[in-house]
Structure 1
């Protein structure tokens, strides 16, 4: 059977399109579930802003004493999958002529995405590496990274000042260099949030980021003058309502100001949660899928 000229042209064009699509780098889909039945949010007590503001039921007896074999020290075995340890390594990176100690989990290059976690005062990379503390939440993050072809870095922060910000700007640039064109998410807890807010003033770092997470951190009253604000870099917040270090009311007011300006932001408040609750209870898969890893 003979094909018409129109059919031949269609086949040639279609084949060319297929070849171009196959040549493009793979795009990261939403993260696949991993122990969602254990780590997803519980009862939603209040919701607003079309779902971007949620108040989640938190109970210390259930979410710490019921979840942990040794409260706040060792989670029950069902919450961790330790095979991921085969994909992790402690490394020292030479960034901007200054060494930076990091834990890396997952692909050293060609990662579908990268998550960088910044600890608070008194911590180091071991905090973000601990499989058993914080209810196994870091173990879940590690497994989400590996199972979805991504990478996770937990650096040791030496100071929460301009030098510390410069270190993390170097790590963000390194992650982009290792995995060109792929998204990078910066997540900061407690005092580590000063690093996140400092990064928002660095146009090169902001250009490399897909989003940020602030967990139990302070608000930034001058954020609207930053490069991140101009870019409308998505920000996910999580906070405990009874945080005695950084008041939840201040962070909620900050979030409200962003929403009023149509800024892409989301807030999860853990009712009766304390300062450490967001690191334990934040659903990493929910937050990263909201930010978008494409």
Structure 2
């Protein structure tokens, strides 16, 4: 589970959420888009997940960044605007900001506008000489960067393996959109790597049940914003490894036969029927290199932990010579 941006959760009647949810729940199999996880409650639960012992992703990525930030600095030009996609609490960003004197502006982009504003204020207080310009937006659409970054070199930061939430065509499309930003000089990208499926399943189904609460929270959001009448406890949380597609899948599985009102319609579930809520694709160096090349990028660095569980890749536009 990672951070895909969506709509502002302060809207009490969210017509876009209702429209997308009805379309997904009419489908076979049923599905909901993971961007709707991240209201304020979902964002808080996600931050709790990152500290769980089973969820190796965050601590491993932090270690890779800390161990290699000097090398990463070689790819950050003077006066850079650092644009972080799916910024969350921006904890990993501080590793970069502490070490990269070349960064003059920080643009965090995230789903939850209230959460984003609070985090941006914290960063602004911690780095008095840094311009902090938060941007609420949907990563699945074209982003208009703030005018303040015009004419500056731009380096994207996309940590947390969020790219893995997207289907391969969507991931390539997002990488192409970032490649098209004026002034783009590089992208620092976190990706989770293929490994023992038991490690992966534990990471997405922790013993304390925090991930289960995170998954069910999307049903609570449907109740609050889209006229739903779900009983979240009537759905079980499951994490499944799909070896054919190299991805972990999260599902909400109906415990009983039930009919659930949602807006103007009623959604029927059979016992054992699931709602597919999220994918988290896992990569190899080869599969990332192929995806990057198809999206206008070259992999300049592929930095991993000693176990080879997680990688931070530095991508350069494919028409820029690689140095450093």
TM-score, normalised via structure 1 length: 0.34
Q: Which has the larger radius of gyration?
A: 1
